[in-house]
Structure 1
C-alpha cells in the first residue's frame, strides 16, 4: 500500500475526528458558566449524577460495536451487500437491547417511586437519551474512513444544544428542561447520521443471517465488557461522590473530567483515526514509534496543565469551582498512562486477535479497583481526591496487564515477528 496515501487518509480522518470531538468538548464549555450560574452547582451536580446512571445503560445498547463493527466495516468496505447487512443487523441488535433496558428501567423507577422520593421527571428525561443510541453509527463512518460525516452530525447536535440552552434555560428549576433538551439534541444528531448513511451509501439490502448475528454479538462481547468496565469506573466514581457527599463535589469532579478530557482528546482521536489502518496493516513498529512520540507530547501537556489549571478555572467559571484544579492535577497524569495503554490495546492486542485479553485488562482492573473504593467509603476516607488517586492506580493496572500480555504474545510468536 502506498505510504503517502495511507498517511494522508489517517491525517484526514484524524482532522475530521478532531473537529467533531472538539465540538463535543468545547461547545459545552461555551454555555457551561451560564448553566452553572443559572441552575446552580447543586442542581447541575444532580443532573450529572442522574445522567451517570443512564450513560452506563447507554454502553449496553452500544455493545462494543465502536471497535468490533468498525473492524467488520473496514474489512468489507468494498462489499455493498455485506456492508448493508452488517449495518441493519447491528441496528436490530441495538433495538432489542433498547427495548429490554427501557422496560426494566421503567419498572425499577416505578418500584422506587412508590416508597421513596425520587425526581422521576429528571430520570425520564435522561432515559430518553438512550433513543439516540439506536441511531449512533459513528462506527460505520470510522470503518469506511469517512469521518467528515461524523463531524457533520456532531455539528448539528452540539449547535442545536448550544442554541437551546441560551434560548430556553433561564432559571434554577430549568435543570430538568436542560436534561430533556440534551437528550433530544443527541437523538436528532444521531438520527440525521443514521438516515444519511442509508441514503448516501445506498444501504438498502438486509437479509437476516443468524450466523452474522451471532458473530457480531460474539465479536463485540469482549469489547463491550471492556468498555462497560471502563465507563463503570468513571460513572461509579460520580455515583459514589453524589451518594456520600454534597452534589457540588460531583460538579467539581465533572469539571475536572471535562478539562482533562480536552487534554486527552488529541491522543484519543489519533488512536481512533489510526485504528482502521492498524487493523489492516498490523505494522507493530509503526505503533511503537507513535507511542514514543505521543508520550513525549503527553509529558509536555501535563506540565502545561499543572501550571495553568488554577488560572483557567478562575477565569472560566470563577473561584467557586477552584477545587477542581487540585483534582485536575491528579487526573491529568492519566494521559501519560493512557497513551501507551490505548495504543497497545486498540492497535496491537485487538488487531492481533487478542480481544479477550483486551477485555480482561479492564475487567480485572475494575474488579481490583471496586473493593478498594468501597473500602475507602466504609473507612470514611472517600473524598474527591482519594477517589482520583485510586482512578490513576486503576489506569496503571490496565497498562501493566496489556503490556504483559503483548510481551507474552511476542515471545510465543517470536519466529513469526522477527522484525519486532
Structure 2
C-alpha cells in the first residue's frame, strides 16, 4: 500500500467512522430522557450479553481472516473459498448457540421493562451481524471504506427507527427494534457489496478446507475471548449487582471512550494489512508515536471538560458517568502503544503465541482480582472500571517486554 493510499484510507475511515459513532450521541439525549436510565440500561445490559456471545461466532476470524484475505486478494477463486468457509463456520456457531442462550436467559435477572423475556430472545438476532458482516474481508483487501459506509448506513437506519418509533406503538421498543434492523441491514449490505463489487461469491468448499480454517483461526480465538470478555463483563456484573441505572452510567462513559478511540482503531486497521505485506516495522514505530501524542492530548482535554460533555449529552441525571469516564479514559494512552505492538508487530512477525499470552495472562490475573473482590463484597462500578485499566496496562507491559526481546530479529 502506498503512503497516498494509506492516507486516503485514513481519511475515509476517519470521516465515516466519526459519523458512525457520533450517531448514538444524536439520539442518546432524547432516548435517555424518554426511556429513563433503568429501561435504557436494561437494553444495554442485554446487548452486552449478546456481544459476549458474538465472540464465539467471530472465533478469531477478524485477525485470521484479514491476514488470509490480504495474501489471497488477487485470486477470486481462493477468496471465494476463504469467504465461504468463514461464513459457513459462523452460521454453524450461530445455530449451535441458540439453545445455550435460551437456557442462559432463564437465569438472567428480570426487569420492569415490558415483556423483558422477549427482549432477551429477540435481541439474539443481533448476532446475524456477526455472521455475515465481514469486516475482516474489507480490511484484507484494503478497502475498508466499504465496511465504514455499510456501518454508517445501518446507523442511519437505527437513528430513523428510534426517532420515528418512539412516537408510534413501538415506544420503548424502538431501540431494540432499531438495533435488530440495523444488524440485519449490516449483514445484507456486506454480502451484496462483496458479491457485486469484489466478485466474491458463496461456493462449495471441501470439509477438510473448512476444518483447516477453523483450526488456524483458533490460535486467535482464546485471546479474543479474554479480551472481549473483560471489556463486556462489567456491564453484566453492574446490571446484576447495582441495577440498570448504573449500566446506563457505565455505558455512556464507555461510549465516550470508544468515540475517542476511533483514531487509534482507524490507524490500526489501515496499518495492519500494510505491515502484513511489506514488514515495515519502522513505519509502525512512527504510528505509535503519533497515536501516543493524540492519546495524551485527548486525555488532558477530556479530563478538564468531561463533566460539561456529559451534562450536554445526557443532562444532570447522568452525572454518575463522570467518574467512570475519567477512569476508563486512562486506557487511551495505554492502548496507543498496546494496539500496534500487538497486531502490527507481534502478529505480523509470527509471534502469535506471545500475542495470545499478552491477553490471556493479564486476563487470568484480572479474573483472580475480580473474583476476590466480588467474594469480599468490595466491588463498585468505579472499581470495575479501574480493573479494566489495570488489565490494559498489563497487556501493554507484556507486549513491550516481548518486543524488546525480539527487537533484534525484526
TM-score range, shorter chain: over 0.9
Give 1:107 shift.
4.1
Tell me the TM-score normalised to structure 2 length: 0.94
3-state SS of 1:352 partner: coil
- How do residues 15-26 of structure 1 correspond to structure 2 at under 5 angstroms? 15-26=11-22
1:166-192 per-residue CA deviation (whole Å, 9 max, x = no partner) reads 001249984444213211211112211
1:117-156 per-residue CA deviation (whole Å, 9 max, x = no partner) reads 8931110121111122221111111111112211321122
Q: Note the aligned Cα RMSD (angstroms).
A: 2.1
Give 1:108 shift.
4.0
Q: Is the 8 A contact 2:28 2:313 kept in 1?
A: no
- Counterparts in 2 of 1:150 and 1:19: CA distance versus 1, 3 Å: farther
Equivalent residue pairs, number? 407
| Matching of residue 31 in structure 1 with residue 13 in structure 2 | no
1:359 aligns to what? 356
2:324 aligns to what? 327
1:178-222 per-residue CA deviation (whole Å, 9 max, x = no partner) reads 213211211112211212211222224624234432332223213
User: Unmatched 5+ residue regions in structure 2?
Assistant: none
Which runs of 4 or more aligned residues in structure 1 lie more than 4 Å from their structure 2 counterparts after TM superposition?
115-118, 170-173
Aligned-partner Cα distance in 2 for 1:260–1:142: 23
- Counterparts in 2 of 1:233 and 1:12: CA distance versus 1, 3 Å: same
1:398 aligns to what? 395
- How do residues 39-54 of structure 1 correspond to structure 2 at under 5 angstroms? 39-54=35-50
1:221-261 per-residue CA deviation (whole Å, 9 max, x = no partner) reads 13222222111012111111111102111111110000111
**In structure 1, which of residues 183, 188, 205 is the aligned counterpart of residue 185 of structure 2?**
188
Tell me the TM-score normalised to structure 1 length: 0.92
**In structure 1, which of residues 233, 240, 250 is the aligned counterpart of residue 237 of structure 2?**
240
1:338 aligns to what? 335
2:51 aligns to what? 55
**In structure 2, which of residues 236, 247, 252 is the aligned counterpart of residue 250 of structure 1?**
247
Aligned-partner Cα distance in 1 for 2:237–2:52: 14
Q: Is the 8 A contact 1:225 1:359 kept in 2?
A: yes
Q: Is the 8 A contact 2:84 2:201 kept in 1?
A: no
2:101 aligns to what? 105
Q: Is the 8 A contact 2:267 2:287 kept in 1?
A: no
2:120 aligns to what? 123
| Matching of residue 133 in structure 1 with residue 130 in structure 2 | yes
